[in-house]
Amino acid sequence: MKIIATGLSARFTDLGRVGHKHKGFTQSGALDTNSHLLANAIVGMPFTNPTIEVLLGGFIAVATHDIQVAITGAQVRVLINDVPQRLNHKLDWQKGATLQIMQPVLGARNYIACDRPFIVSVFLDSCCAVTREKTGGMNFDGKGFQVADVLDYEGAGTLGSAATSASTDNLSPETRLTHGSMNNEFSGHNTATKTLAPTTQLAKEYVVRVVLGYQESLFDHKMKACFFNQQFTVSNEASNMGIRLTGKSIGSVAVTLYSEGIANGAIQITPSGLPIIMLAERQTIGGYPKIGSIIAADLPELGQCQPGSAIRFEQCDLFTARQAWLLRQIRIKTFAQNQYVRDEKQ
């Protein structure tokens, strides 16, 4: 495809640069991982297949080959040659046709998956571009797509399902979740049952669950009550690195801490008494006190927050957090399996 307009930001993304934080590199990866996985499942590609992450719409591209795509994530109007298209469905995009993603009505990020793998530049096991580190990206400079960039596909000379099949022959079983049998713990019935797409929840107000961390003792009962019993607002300082919230200060912690590693979803409390939620492109270490961490199952919703979105926190225990994560995994993998079976029968 040829890029005509990128909007605020458009770039390749995947599941991140895992296992390299000790070298000083951030994890990166799709902010709404659920929408990334769903897009790949719809077009029958492995979950590790790169997608295009589009921030706040404005994306325009022209197809250079006949391909099939799926667009997931924020609630937007999608047009192919000015004809409205459905989100969360497989779409035929013919050579020479123009695809447009308009500004979202709700949510912030959309994900585009194709039925053939993109040719991407890989740095430390990931194609993700990180502007702050100047790593990854098409030219290893940390930049997203530029106008007139051309994105190529593996096996571009061969169209259809044969090209897709050939491109996945060398993938390991763990990364071929939509191209064969799945792990027993997640496998469903091998029938083409109708399964609703497990989309990321979109809202103007998000309630996210928090597991308190080992530094919770630094926060007294009054501070915790203030934290859990108010509505915060996403400020203009929101990015793939983190979200700074505005609201009533919960108070500051008069203690000096050593810098330490930061988990995805960790909630730091700044000296102003307001939270910062650390996300995929967070720095590898930090020294602000952390009241807890948002559970993994609720992180995709944060990827859809816009400035002005409201956030409330709800306390959660580890058992519930684990249960919610497993349920989300089961839903997306069952959907992928059923999608694969339906495509095989067609």
DSSP at 200: P
Count Cα neighbours of 339 within 13 Å in the Cβ-side half-sphere.
26
> Is the domain 205-321 a CATH 2.40.100.10 member?
yes
Nearest Cα to Cα of residue 1 among 112, 75, 129: 112
User: What are the residue boundaries of the structural domains of the chain, listed by start?
Assistant: 2-180, 205-321
Measured distance CA(160)–CA(111) in Å, rounded:
22
Cα angle, residue 305 at apex, residues 316 and 247 outer, rounded to 5°: 70
Nearest Cα to Cα of residue 263 among 234, 290, 300: 290
- For the chain (346 residues), the mean pLDDT of every run of 10, in chain order, is 96 92 89 96 94 97 96 97 96 97 96 95 92 87 93 66 36 38 37 71 96 94 96 95 96 86 94 96 90 96 96 96 95 89 67
**SS3 at position 232:** strand
Residue 165 is predicted with a pLDDT of 35
Cβ-count burial 277-297 (b if 16+ within 10 Å, e if not): bbbbbbbbebebbbbbbbbbb
Which residue in the block uniquely carries the two structure tokens 């191209």?
A: 179
Measured distance CA(202)–CA(145) in Å, rounded:
26
Residue 192 is predicted with a pLDDT of 43
- Which residues touch 168 (CB under 8 Å, ≥6 apart)? 45, 46, 176, 179
Nearest Cα to Cα of residue 204 among 77, 312, 58, 328: 312
Nearest Cα to Cα of residue 283 among 301, 261, 305, 265: 261
Sign of CA dihedral 338, 341, 343, 346: negative
Is 43:168 a contact under the CB 8 Å cutoff? no
Q: Tokens in use for 57?
A: 């719409």
- Which residues touch 322 (CB under 8 Å, ≥6 apart)? none
Q: Tokens in use for 242?
A: 């983190």
DSSP string, 74-120: EE--EEETTEEE-TTSEEEE-TT-EEEE---SEEEEEEEEESS-B--
**SS3 at position 344:** helix
Task: Check: pTM over 0.85? Answer yes or no.
Answer: yes
Is 205:312 a contact under the CB 8 Å cutoff? yes
Nearest Cα to Cα of residue 124 among 214, 205, 17: 17
Is 245:332 a contact under the CB 8 Å cutoff? no
Q: Tokens in use for 116?
A: 């053939």
